[in-house]
Amino acid sequence: MELDFNNKQGGKLYGQVMAKQEAFLDNINKEYLENDDFKEIEELEEKLSSFKDKFMDFDLNNDGDIDFEGMKRMMEKLGQAKTHLELKKMISEVDKSNTGVICYRDFVDMMLGAKTSVLKLILLFEEKMRQANETSRPKGQPPKRSLADLP
């Protein structure tokens, strides 16, 4: 996917780039939904939507690939900072075309596939933790406390 950043229109251009990338990724998701090999996967449409959102978060230059810097940011955001070599190894585990980046198809194949990679485990763990935090958070106002309540 080729994007032109030479035309400096600020937020308007950014919105156009994001819309173009989202449409591109939606087309790839549609291919997965229509592929008979993936029909047995439960909640496939929701999973693909979630994968698209995650991928777009870490495609820093919106070129359709997660590069080294995007991978580094992803791991730091997940609290799993990795060394340079660990990041390169994670990318090489997923990168089928040996380009040194993770394209969206490689990302989806990794997330849907039977093969377990370090990146897949981290992303799944992060998703489970987010869901657990949403359900276990107390609701309403915190209880009033006094100095006598301190240990």
What are 59-96's pLDDT values in tens digits? 888 888 999 998 898 888 888 888 899 889 888 888 88
pLDDT of 2 reads 47
User: Would you mind telling me the total number of residues written for the chain in this entry?
Assistant: 151
CATH number, residue 95: 1.10.238.10
Beta pairing partners, 65: 103
120 lies in some domain: yes
User: What angle in degrees, to the nearest 10, is found between the helix axes of 44-58 and 68-77?
Assistant: 110
What tens digit of pLDDT does each residue of 115-145 get? Answer: 666 677 777 777 777 777 766 666 777 777 7
Q: What's the domain count of the chain?
A: 1
Structure confidence by residue, pLDDT tens digits, 25-61: 999 999 999 988 888 888 889 999 999 998 998 888 8
Do the domain assignments include residue 144? no
Q: Which domain holds residue 48?
A: 11-129
Query: In terms of Cα–Cα distance, which of 138, 134, 104 is closest to 23?
Result: 104
Query: Is 134 contained in some domain?
Result: no
